A = this chain, B = another copy of it.
Amino acid sequence: MIVTVTLNPALDLTYTVDALVPHGTHRVTTVAERAGGKGLNVARVLHAAGEPVLATGLLGGGTGARVAALLEQDGLAASFAAIAGETRRTVAVADTEDATGFWEPGPVVSAVEWETFVKHYTGLLAGARVVTLCGSLPPGLPADAYATLIRLAAATGARTILDTSGDALRHGLAAGPDVAKPNADELAALIHGEQAGARSLVTSRGAEGLRAVTPDGTWHAVPPQRLSGNPTGAGDACVAALARGLRDGTAWPALLADAVALSAAAVVAPVAGAVDQDTYRRTRPGVIVTEEH
C-alpha cells in the first residue's frame, strides 16, 4: 500500500469566462470542480495505474466535505482527519488566452488537530510500504511537520518521498527522507547540489527529463521527444512512479525511465492527476537513461 499525505488539499474550481476584464463583473459560463492538491494528484495517478493507494491528510468544513465527495466519485480510497477550519479553495479563471489563478491561504490548523492527525497517520502506517509527502503546509502547522511524519514512517520501515518547497522542504530534509524531489531552483537555493539529508534527490528539468543523485549512482533520464500540453501534474506523476518503484525495489535506471514516461503521460492529459496511458506505453521504451561518472 502507498499512502499519500496531503496536508493542505483544496477544492479546485475552474471558471470559464469570455474574457477577463479587471474590475468588471463576469458571468461564469462553466464551473468545473476537482479535488486538488499535489498529494491527491499522486494518488489519482497511482489509482489509475491500478496500484493500491490510500489518500490521507486534513479536511474541514463544507469545502472539505465536497473534496471528500469528489474523491469518492473518483473511486479513491481516502482516510482524512477532520479539522474545524474550512479546506481552502483555488479559483482558476480561464478565458480564451490563459488562466488567472486565485489561491486561498488554507485553514489554520490547531496544535490539537495536528496531534490528532499524527495519531491517525501512525495508525495508517501499519499497512504502508511507501509514504508520499507532497505540497504546502497549511497555516498553524509546525515547519518540521513533514520531518515528524518522515521519522514516524521510517520507524515502521516505510519508505518516504518528500515533494515540497521552502521551509517545509528544508525542515523535512533534516529527517532524511528516502527520496526528495525539489525543483531545480529550490535545490540550488537550498543545498548547492548536496543532498542535505535525503538519501536520494530527484530533480525535474522540465522537458529535459529527470536527474537522480542516489547512493547507487547519478543518472539522467530523458524522454524520446518533447511533448506539449499541460505541465501541471507532471511532477505529481513523477512522484507516483517513484512511489511504486520504491515499493517494488526497482533499480534506479528502470525507475527513472518509468517516472519520465509517466510524467510525459501527465503532460498530455488535460488535467493534473490524469495520465494518458497510450503516451505512457509509447514513451516508456524510448526513455534514454545515462549514468554520470
Interface residues of A (CB under 8 A from B): 13, 15, 17, 20-29, 31, 33, 61-63, 65-66, 69, 86, 89, 91, 93, 97-105
CB-based nearest B residue for A65 = B62
Would A93 and B102 count as touching, CB distance under 8 A?
Answer: yes
Is B22 touching A101 in the complex (CB atoms < 8 A)?
no
Name the distance in Å between A62's Cβ and chain B's nearest Cβ.
4
How many protomers of this protein does the assembly include?
2
When distances are taken between beta carbons in the complex, the residues of chain B under 8 Å from A61 are 66
Nearest CB on B from A190, distance (A): 21
Q: Which of B24, B66, B91, B98 contacts A62 (CB 8 A)?
A: B66
* CB pair B104 A28 closer than 8 Å: yes
CA distance A22 to B24 in the complex (A): 12
Smallest beta-carbon distance A266→chain B, Å: 20
Closest beta carbon of chain B to A21's beta carbon, Å: 8
Closest B residue to A19 by beta carbon equals B22
CB of B31 within 8 A of CB of A103, answer no
Which residue of B15, B63, B104 is within 8 Å of A104 (Cβ)? B15
Are A25 and B101 in contact (CB-based, < 8 A)? yes
A24 and B104 in contact (CB under 8 A), knowing A65-B62, A66-B61?
Answer: no
Q: B66 to A105, Cβ gap below 8 A?
A: no
From B22, B28, B62, A100 is in contact (CB under 8 Å) with: B22
Q: Would you call B66 and A102 a contact (CB within 8 A)?
A: no
* Option from B27, B63, B102 in Cβ contact (under 8 Å) with A26: B102
Q: Which residue of B lies closest to A99 (CB)?
A: B23
Is A97 within 8 A of B31, CB to CB? no
A25 engages B103 (CB within 8 Å) = yes
Tell me whether B62 and A28 are in contact (CB under 8 A): no
Q: A22-B22, A61-B66 are in contact. Are A15 and B102 (CB under 8 A)?
A: yes
